Structure 1
């Protein structure tokens, strides 16, 4: 049986997922945040950058932001996972990056290292508890990720993905500022100085999704961030351009496996 629990933490840049996925399968999607998943039981299969991967109990999957992937259980019995969803800027600040344009990256997509897995599992558990001090909750993430950074962290220059005379990142910034507005294909193609036909073809080739599917995911990812900040579902739906809360709730549950009201 599928069971998904989302948890906010004292740090708005970090949220937690504790899930048992059996039937639920993730279609191709991306996140705005880093997702660091700890498989605690079962096996998951996913596709990423044209390759198929399997990950099992005791292994860690590190999925960078903006990267397309899917995911489903390899076994009928399902798999259990504990996930950290972390704002990329928070990770960059933790790594104390000095040069503009540098981003944090990791040398491995899948990590099998008990010396890293166990501290992260303890951290995930601790951040859901109410019987530890506020200072401990503030400090624990810095300590918990230290082994992961020391052994697998790296620096990288984030490469711009060209799209006509602009980049996909420029397009994302434009849309993030206009999520509550109706978006027309002509607007996006003009921004990139392409014809509508060229824009659709180039976008799908560069990103791997249609512009509509990509924007739909962007709205939901922004919606997730707004829920983390404490906004109610009605206000979130309005800010990200959904017709009403009912449409937002339906799309949110289909995407994340829980309704907005279950996000705690």
Structure 2
């Protein structure tokens, strides 16, 4: 039985689709957006530019705007797919491309297991309410910039690193607001950069994403509070975890012990 879910995301210009197609077949049609499809089970076949193609598990297909194609399941078990629907303007406004108006991709079907699972993870996380606000803000760029870097015909311009004084200012701001949702635009405003420029320059300087840095600051402060004998439930709230279970899981992943095991 076909099951198809269309979801808006918090990121303007990106919508999400999750479907299990068994009987439904797409007639010849086109999209105004880029459709990036990730097959998680089964097989899909489609006709594109006069040629028949097949795509299976751990493969992704990039369907450009305005290109006629169809799509169907050749076998009774059908296929499962996760799709990013991306407005072409998103790439122009969110990636600092060398030639943004000539963006295209080198391959229709990509077999890259690492990238596949990075994009699957991003698709899942873009509607995960347990994530920090900063993580939600950063996910779309992190996932899609990798796709563009490796498989687009144009590249992003080299990123300039943030200076040490700027990084110190950012750290002080984060430490002062650990118990609050921190938005990407707040950090980029401090640096007088666009959110995308900020993400690229931050990672060039630190080697990790802004939300990974924030998570570590939260956990380091949590360790200090636990050593000071503050109850674990209070610690979780003070460092911005509003769910004790997620705090304990993150803490153990970072330190190898649960908060209750720290003496």
Q: Under a length normalisation based on structure 2, what TM-score does the superposition of the two structures give?
A: 0.57
Q: Which residue of 2 aligns with 1:77?
A: 77
Distance 1:110 1:81 in 2: 14
CA distance in 2, matches of 1:97, 1:106: 13
Q: State the Cα distance separating 1:103 from its structure 2 match.
A: 3.0
Deviations 1:62-100 (A, max 9, x none): 000011000000211100000000010101233323557
Task: Give the gaps of 5 or more residues in structure 2.
Answer: 156-263
Superimposed CA distance per residue, residues 152-188 of structure 1 (whole angstroms, 9 cap, x where no aligned partner): 01139xxxxxxxxxxxxxxxxxxxxxxxxxxxxxxxx
SS at match of 1:155: coil
Aligned to 2:147: 148
RMSD: 1.6
User: Which aligned pairs between 1:204-215 and structure 2 lie closer than 5 A?
Assistant: none
Is structure 2 residue 24 aligned with structure 1 residue 24? yes
Shift of 1:129: 1.1
- The alignment status of 1:61 with 2:61, answered yes or no, reads yes
* Counterpart contact for 1:63–1:109, Cα < 8 Å: yes
User: Which is richer in strand?
Assistant: 1
Q: Residue 40 of structure 1: SS of its match in structure 2? A: strand
Structure 1 segment 121-160 matched on structure 2, within 5 A: 121-155=120-154
Q: Distance in 2 between matches of 1:104 and 1:21?
A: 30
Residues 1:50 and 2:50 are matched in the alignment: yes
Query: Equivalent residue of 1:143, what SS?
Result: helix
Looking at structure 2, the residues matched to 115 and 92 of structure 1 have their Cα atoms a distance apart, in angstroms, of 25
Gaps of 5+ in 1: 157-264
1:26-76 deviation line (CA, Å, top 9, x unaligned) = 000000100000000000000001100000011000000011000000211
Cα distance in 2 for residues equivalent to 1:78 and 1:99: 39
1:1-264 equivalences in 2 (<5 Å):
1-99=1-99, 102-155=101-154
Retained in 1: the 8 A contact 2:43–2:55?
A: yes
Larger Rg: 2
Instruction: Provide the residue aligned with 2:221 in structure 1.
Output: none
- Would the aligned equivalents of 1:120 and 1:144 in 2 still touch at CA under 8 Å? yes
Counterpart CA distance in 2 for 1:69 and 1:115 is 27
Q: Is the contact between residue 42 and residue 78 of structure 1 (CA under 8 Å) also seen in structure 2? A: yes
| Residues 59 and 117 in structure 1, CA contact (< 8 A), matched pair in contact too | yes
Which aligned segments of 4 or more residues in structure 1 are displaced greater than 3 angstroms? 97-100
Counterparts of 1:139 and 1:29 in 2: how far apart (Å)? 32
Give the TM-score taking structure 1 as reference length. Answer: 0.56
Separation of aligned partners in 2, 1:49 and 1:119: 29
Q: Secondary structure at the match of 2:82?
A: strand
Once the two structures are TM-superposed, the CA of residue 116 in structure 1 deviates from its matched residue by 0.8
